[in-house]
Amino acid sequence: MSLEERIARADERGLAASGLACLDRCLPLLDGDEELLRPLWGSLADGSDWSAPLEKARGALLGLGGEEAAGAGGDGHAEAVRLVAHMLDTAPAERTAEAVRPWAESCSAVSLRVHRLLDPAAEGAPDPAGAEDPPPLVAAELRRQITVLELLEGHGKQGLRRALDVSGEGRRVLRAVVSRRARGNAESGV
């Protein structure tokens, strides 16, 4: 089953977790502390309202940290930062399937785009949406997105812990990529 089909079948919790997981994996671009998103994950687990933790995360991540990060790196990096900030900014305060579905779809596409922008192997490669053999960083992100949706579909609330682990792994990978790019830019004087 394709990623798009999995998103179309997902329930409210699966959609919210899918979007949140994409945001979580892209967090290194906003220089954000992963703990800022923990209350959002917690609200998915206990069914509580997520609007207050969402506003707190927006305030912390879309403040100076996100703006400073946008200025670092090359054009691809700056675009990636803008995309991730937009992902956070457009998260719906109301967590219903109708409100969260378009956000989850957008987060999926944005996250794949961000990974493509940052993947050194993606130079000249086709866009991930139509690519049969996407670059490695993009392929790994696509697998993580599918895994998160599978976990929530197959295990419901109990799948959240594993989904969080999958996101943490992806966040560490992207943090390493961002760090390598920053070192490379510093060495080349960019």
Tokens of 114: 């961000």
Q: In which band, very low, low, confident or very high, does the pLDDT at 77 lie, cut at 50, 70 and 90?
A: confident
DSSP secondary structure letter of residue 72: S
Q: Which pLDDT score is estimated for 64?
A: 42
- Give tens-digit pLDDT for 147-158: 999 999 999 889
Helix (H) or strand (E) holding 125: none
In degrees, rounded to 5, the angle at the alpha carbon of residue 179 between the alpha carbons of residues 72 and 67 is 30
How far from 98 is each of 10, 46, 80, 94, 95, CA to CA, in Å?
11, 20, 27, 9, 8
Range of the domain at 148: 3-188
Closest CA to 110 of 134, 82, 136: 82
- Give tens-digit pLDDT for 12-69: 999 999 999 999 999 999 988 889 999 999 999 999 999 999 999 999 998 744 444 4
Range list of H helices, 72-159: 75-89, 97-118, 136-155
Q: Which pLDDT score is estimated for 131?
A: 56
- Give tens-digit pLDDT for 101-156: 999 999 999 999 999 999 988 765 555 455 578 999 999 999 999 999 999 999 98
What is the domain count for the chain? 1
